[in-house]
């Protein structure tokens, strides 16, 4: 559900011109910033006459960007890759796999559906070579392996995909001018962030703008807060157990993470409009308080998509900037990052499909989209100088220095939890209900599913 919400932030322009193998954005070997060695390695693979079908969620500009990357695979190997995108990917891929007409490659916007298909034998497991490559080449590599490891129809664990594009959620947005005028420094730890929150109040300001409103989906922004706080207060294994309900929702560690969110959101002095306004403020309107004079707030925690809702004419890096939502120095849990990503899997095995997976985990495949727009990579071999903007480069650095990466937890939970009682429970909590009672109510929904 949150995936569809994020897509609201992107204006989609349909591309009418297909990209062919001859249409390469950058001439191989000319721009030394690119890892052309990983492109040259493709030339040893002869796929002449083979067609690889690929299906995913990318349409419009995103489809055109991806096809420009695909062109290099086609040029080097002689294969033809037919990519099609759909806003109904999640429904259609289930139909296609059941009908025995699945594409060679499927691109999943979240791993939950891939895990379900893997359990039914609809995905092809990848080799140990791929697994070891991801562990070595990706920042927090084991995290990316874990996120793509699912049980097969016999209950055995296998790696079923490679994450190609990442999204970042652990961000705090602010106005550099407002910080400069007030003499505030960007906090480097959670302790610093809490101290800054108190200092802003002492100076007569309001630290935070927080809004949970989103129509029928009201409450989802709070789930991101709780997920981020859980990763900052407990080891990643607790987070993983919580997502599957092996760690119960009313476990004291989960309740404490909810209260950590409440430290910011349930204090009238800390939030624009007071705590009572949090649930009723639309998440799209909430960050606008950063840009008013005087500012209605100084900080807004939200994912990388939120600039789409900033006032028209806002310039990133000048009028608005962001910093990593910091971890506790005292808890020694590293630098966890909450986010999302697209998982590329094989749903109809072929030599071309396996070589395409190899291509997408190579540096050049990442760099070619980084040099366009709308792409973040955790690949350590991809050159960050190729990001198309300073903002993308800075977000890419946060990914590269992450010690743990975890996918949005509510998107991995059953719909009645992650897109149901968790949302409504967070609205109840910000409206004054006790954290333990809220957690117990959500756990009752889990219990009813069993």
Length of the chain: 450
**Count: domains in the chain:** 1
pLDDT of residue 12: 33
Condensed to tens digits (0 to 9), the pLDDT of residues 157-212 reads: 999 999 999 999 999 999 999 999 999 999 999 999 999 999 999 999 999 999 99
Condensed to tens digits (0 to 9), the pLDDT of residues 300-342 reads: 999 999 999 999 999 999 999 999 999 999 999 999 999 999 9
For 379, the token pair is: 């690949």
- C-alpha 25/C-alpha 58 separation (Å) is 19
Under the phi-then-psi rule, with left for phi > 0, alpha for psi from -120 to 50, and beta for the rest, what region is 111?
A: alpha
pLDDT of residue 450: 73
Q: Which pLDDT band, with edges at 50, 70 and 90, does 2 fall under? A: low
Instruction: Specify if 120 maps to a domain.
Output: yes
Sign of CA dihedral 297, 303, 309, 311: positive
- Provide the CATH number for the domain around residue 106: 3.40.190.10
Condensed to tens digits (0 to 9), the pLDDT of residues 47-76 reads: 999 999 999 999 999 999 999 999 999 999
- C-alpha 371/C-alpha 68 separation (Å) is 11
- C-alpha 239/C-alpha 381 separation (Å) is 28
Task: Assess contact for 401 and 139: CB atoms under 8 A.
Answer: yes
Instruction: Specify if 348 maps to a domain.
Output: yes
Instruction: Specify if 302 maps to a domain.
Output: no
Establish whether the linkage from the previous residue to 294 is cis, with ω within 30° of 0: yes
The residue among 19 and 87 whose pLDDT is bigger is 87
Instruction: Specify if 363 maps to a domain.
Output: yes
pLDDT at position 1 over 50: no
Instruction: Specify if 178 maps to a domain.
Output: no
Task: Assess contact for 347 and 117: CB atoms under 8 A.
Answer: yes
DSSP 212-273: -B-GGGTTHHHHHHHHHHHHHHS-HHHHHHHHHTSS-TTSHHHHHHHHHHHHHHT-TTTBTT
Instruction: Specify if 220 maps to a domain.
Output: no
Angle at 138 (CA atoms; ends 398, 21), nearest 5 degrees: 105
Instruction: Specify if 351 maps to a domain.
Output: yes
What is the percentage of the chain residues whose pLDDT exceeds 70? Answer: 95
pLDDT at position 21 over 60: no
Q: Collapsing DSSP states into helix, strand and coil, what is residue 328?
A: coil
Tell me the residue range of the domain where 394 lies: 2-168+338-407
Kindly report the average pLDDT of the chain as a whole number: 94
Instruction: Specify if 399 maps to a domain.
Output: yes
Q: Give the lowest-confidence range in 17-26, 61-70, 350-359.
A: 17-26
Distances in Å between the Cα of 60 and the Cα atoms of 14, 85, 167, 345 are: 4, 9, 18, 22
- C-alpha 203/C-alpha 89 separation (Å) is 50
Q: In 131-145, which positions are buried (b, 16+ CB within 10 angstroms) versus exposed (e)?
A: bebbeebbbbbebbb
């Amino acid at each position: 559900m949150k995936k569809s919400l994020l897509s609201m932030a992107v204006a989609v322009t349909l591309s009418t011109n297909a990209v062919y193998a001859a249409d390469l954005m950058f001439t191989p070997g000319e721009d030394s910033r690119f890892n052309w060695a990983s492109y040259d390695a493709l030339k040893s693979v002869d796929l002449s006459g083979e067609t690889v079908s690929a299906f995913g969620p990318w349409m419009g500009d995103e489809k055109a960007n991806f096809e420009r990357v695909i062109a290099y695979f086609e040029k080097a190997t002689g294969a033809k890759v037919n990519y099609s995108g759909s806003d109904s990917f999640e429904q259609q891929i289930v139909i296609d796999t059941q009908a025995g007409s699945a594409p060679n490659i499927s691109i999943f916007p979240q791993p939950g559906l891939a895990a379900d298909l893997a359990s039914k034998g609809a995905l092809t497991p990848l080799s140990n070579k791929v697994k070891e490559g991801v562990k070595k080449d990706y920042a927090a590599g084991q995290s990316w392996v874990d996120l793509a490891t699912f049980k097969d129809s016999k209950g055995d664990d296998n790696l079923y995909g490679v994450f190609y594009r990442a999204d970042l959620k652990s961000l705090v947005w602010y106005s550099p001018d407002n910080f400069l005028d007030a003499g505030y420094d960007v906090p480097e730890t959670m302790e610093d962030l809490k101290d800054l929150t108190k200092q802003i109040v002492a100076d007569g300001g309001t630290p935070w703008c927080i809004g949970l409103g989103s129509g029928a989906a009201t409450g989802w922004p709070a789930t991101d807060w709780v997920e981020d706080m859980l990763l900052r207060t407990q080891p990643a294994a607790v987070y993983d157990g919580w997502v599957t309900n092996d760690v119960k929702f009313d476990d004291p560690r989960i309740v404490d993470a909810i209260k950590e969110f409440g430290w910011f959101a349930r204090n009238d002095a800390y939030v624009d409009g007071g705590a009572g306004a949090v649930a009723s403020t639309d998440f799209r309107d909430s960050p606008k308080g950063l840009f008013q004079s005087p500012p209605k707030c100084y900080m807004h925690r939200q994912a990388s998509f939120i600039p789409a809702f900033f006032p028209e004419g806002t310039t990133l890096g000048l009028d608005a900037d962001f910093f990593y939502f910091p971890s506790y120095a005292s808890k020694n849990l590293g630098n966890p990052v909450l986010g999302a990503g697209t998982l590329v899997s094989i749903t109809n095995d072929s030599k071309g499909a396996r070589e395409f997976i190899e291509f997408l985990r190579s540096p050049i495949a990442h760099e070619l989209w980084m040099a366009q727009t709308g792409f973040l990579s955790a690949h350590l071999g991809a050159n960050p100088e190729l990001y198309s903007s300073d903002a993308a480069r800075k977000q890419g650095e946060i990914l590269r220095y992450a010690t743990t990466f975890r996918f949005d937890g509510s998107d991995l939970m059953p719909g009645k939890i992650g897109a149901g009682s968790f949302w409504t429970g967070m609205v109840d909590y910000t409206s004054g209900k006790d954290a333990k009672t809220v957690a117990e109510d959500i756990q009752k929904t889990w219990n009813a599913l069993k």
